[in-house]
């Protein structure tokens, strides 16, 4: 099992707007059955820490390329994506392999 986290550096004061657009974009993939539910989170400024960063995170049994042969990209993911490009400074993806709890390894 894998955890896939995308980290977005956004323009100052746009984290909530970016999070909303990222959530809309993720919902298109989830509704099409191509991805598990995505958690989107950010610091709205009420806690210490970076307020210009937004995260989206999901788990997957297998990491598949959305551009794999025969895959059809769902719906209109470009609508939110175009608006998002205007406020994102940079982004990157982090991949993590999740540990299986020891209890489940022996069953």
Give the tens place of pLDDT for each residue, 57-94. 999 999 888 788 888 777 666 677 788 999 999 999 99
Residue predicted with more confidence, 44 or 42: 42
pLDDT at 93: 96
Do 31 and 74 touch, CB atoms closer than 8 A? yes
Domain definitions of the chain by residue range:
2-65+76-100
Phi, psi of 80 (to 5 degrees): -70, -35
Report domain 2-65+76-100's class. alpha beta
Q: Average pLDDT in the 3-29 region?
A: 94
CA gap 66, 1 in Å, rounded: 18
Do 8 and 54 touch, CB atoms closer than 8 A? yes
């Amino acid at each position: 099992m894998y955890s896939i986290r995308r980290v977005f550096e956004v323009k100052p004061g746009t984290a909530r707007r970016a999070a909303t657009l990222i959530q809309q974009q993720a919902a298109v993939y989830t509704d099409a059955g191509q991805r598990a539910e995505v958690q989107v989170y950010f610091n709205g400024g009420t806690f210490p820490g970076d307020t210009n960063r937004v995260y989206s995170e999901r788990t997957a049994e297998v990491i598949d390329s959305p551009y794999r042969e025969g895959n059809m990209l769902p719906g209109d993911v470009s609508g939110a994506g175009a608006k998002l490009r205007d406020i994102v400074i940079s982004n990157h993806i982090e991949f993590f392999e999740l540990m299986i709890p020891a209890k489940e390894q022996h069953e």
